[in-house]
Amino acid sequence: MPEITLRPYKLSDVDDFIRWACNSEVLQYINLQFWVNVNSSREQVVTYFNEVVITHPWYQAICLDGQAIGYVVLEREPGKYGLDRGRAKLSYALGREYWGRGITTIAVKTTIPTAFRKVPDLVRIEALVDIENEASERVLKKVGFVKEGLLRKYVMVVDGEGIDLNIFSILPNDPILN
């Protein structure tokens, strides 16, 4: 059985990243579009790696037998007056050829308890999901996230269109984690 692991990305992962991330189906529901698209050059992706990926404290490669095939990111934003300090946003993506195998569920299931253990003052992890992305919603529900509601026209994408997102959350005392 293949081994699924998480680890920080390395610059040597750029070519693997390009192979899976510069795919229109993968990019459909994730916010990489501001940095990476189907026509991105290797140099553009290297810049993204140097400016965002490698310096990020929680940008983990989802690996299958050591090869980077996706990511899990946990983003903490202090917000105005530090009101968001106990929250983090979770995002994830996986190469198209690996969809439907439960890999993302395993990666997210691994991330959540580790995050609550290692991130100081973390009391809530949120995930925002495009209302059309049913597969992502299934991942979150399997892991134990609770759907809290609909955020109408919450995000403006590159072409200026507003999209609706569902918001999910998980807390450290939710039953799935205990």
Summarised one tens digit per residue, pLDDT across range 30-77 is: 777 667 778 888 898 899 899 999 999 899 999 999 999 999 999 987
The pLDDT, as a whole number, for residue 16 is 93
pTM of the model: 0.89
Average pLDDT over every residue of 91-114:
95
CA triple 123-125-129, angle to 5 deg: 160
Domains of the chain: 4-177 (3.40.630.30)
For residue 158, is pLDDT > 70?
Answer: no
Can you tell me the distance from the alpha carbon of 72 to that of 74, in angstroms, rounded to the nearest whole number?
7
Predicted confidence (pLDDT) per residue in 137-150, tens digit? 999 999 999 999 99
Please give the pLDDT value at position 177. Answer: 55
- Split at pLDDT 50, 70, 90, the class of 116 is very high
Predicted local confidence at residue 30, as pLDDT: 77
Beta strands in 14-145 (DSSP E): 59-64, 67-75, 87-94, 124-130
Rounded to the nearest integer, the mean pLDDT of the chain is 88
Is the pLDDT confidence value at 13 over 60?
yes
> Does position 110 have pLDDT exceeding 80, yes or no?
yes
Copy the structure tokens of residue 7. Answer: 């680890």
Mean pLDDT of 11-36: 83
For the cut 60, the answer to whether the pLDDT of residue 104 exceeds it is yes
Residues linked to residue 89 through DSSP beta bridges, in sequence order: 75, 126
Residues of the chain by 3-state class (helix, strand, coil), percent to 5: 35, 30, 30
